[in-house]
Amino acid sequence: MHFAGIDIGSRSIELVVVDEAGEIVSTLQTDTGFDPMAEAVTLTGQCDYDNIMATGYGRSLFEISFNAPTVTEIKAHAVGARALFPDAGAILDIGGQDSKAISLFPNGKVKKFEMNDRCAAGTGKFLEIMAGALGFTVDQFGREALRAEKELAVSSMCTVFAESEVTTLIARGEDRHEIALGLHASVTRRAASMLSRICPAGDIVFSGGVAKNPCMVALLEQKLGQKLLVADEPQLTGALGAALLAKEEAGKEL
């Protein structure tokens, strides 16, 4: 039997299929677009599975459309992170439009969490908009920020005001690499503050698409004073957790 997990996020949708041993057999990803359920239908039609579980901001729509069980992002990321890194004590997930810091008990259960889902500040969307304002692609942004010799502080974390401030700095002739580093540093401070409130212990897993940004990884490691655990495809963590939970639920029904 095969078990699928689908993470319907604000920016992208990830699908992971595992076998009875919990090993990943296939993964798929696409942009969420304006019709997430149509994208979900396309993704699920490209793989074979016996049971599926949904997570992410669009999970309620998926539950209605597919008559499938759902799980919170917090629990899905906890399960997925522990599957990838068995000694994980905490998780930092920076997604498209929210960010989460989660601490775990030694048995992997969720101990405490903090979540920012009320504005784009400190999220992937914030970084995406700032990258565009500086003329970088999302993939370039982190690498180019690391080229800066010093950080140029950006005072506002509100996306609208920060974009206006960046435009003013560019007009003044400031180095865009230094501006980029300052923006990354602002997001880093916000993420580190969230982590401090959950009192993480042990290894910290960095999940979500922003974990692929080398500047964010470097600045967070410097700020926290420890190496972060980052999977090869960190954006799949939630979908993996949902797939493993679908497998667990199927086992209870037998």
CA distance 153 to 11: 27
Q: What is the pLDDT of residue 157?
A: 75
Q: What is the pLDDT of residues 72-106, one digit of tens each?
A: 999 999 999 999 999 999 999 998 888 999 999 99
User: What's the pLDDT at 254?
Assistant: 55
243 plus 222 within the same structural domain: no
Whether residue 55 sits in one domain with residue 5: yes
- The count of structural domains within the chain is 2
Measured between alpha carbons, how far is 137 from 31 in angstroms, rounded to an integer?
Answer: 16
Q: Which residues, including other chains, have CB under 8 Å from residue 56's CB and lie 6 or more apart?
A: 6, 7, 8, 9, 13, 73, 238
Please check whether residues 154 and 244 belong to one and the same domain.
Answer: no
Co-location of 132 and 165 in the same domain:
yes
Do residue 51 and residue 97 come from a single domain?
no
Query: Among candidates 12, 239, 6, 8, which has minimal Cα distance to 125?
Result: 12
Regarding whether 218 and 182 lie in a shared domain, the answer is yes
Same domain, 189 and 113: yes
| Same domain membership, residue 105 and residue 136 | yes
Instruction: Give the pLDDT confidence of 160-183 residue by residue, as tens digits.
Output: 888 899 999 999 999 999 999 999
State the number of CA atoms in the 13 A half-sphere of 201 facing the CB: 7
Q: Which of 39, 44, 52, 48 is nearest to 12 (CA)?
A: 39
Same domain, residue pair 37 and 152: no
Terminal Cα-to-Cα distance of the chain (whole angstroms): 13
Is the domain of 60 the same as that of 116?
no
Asked if pLDDT for residue 252 goes beyond 80, the answer is no
Note the pLDDT tens digit of each residue in 120-159.
677 888 999 999 999 999 999 999 999 999 999 887 778 8
Examine the domain organization and report whether 18 and 126 are in the same domain: no
Domain span holding position 183: 88-230
Q: What is the CATH number of the domain that holds 80?
A: 3.30.420.40
H or E segment and range at residue 229: strand 228-229
Q: Are residues 212 and 144 in the same domain?
A: yes
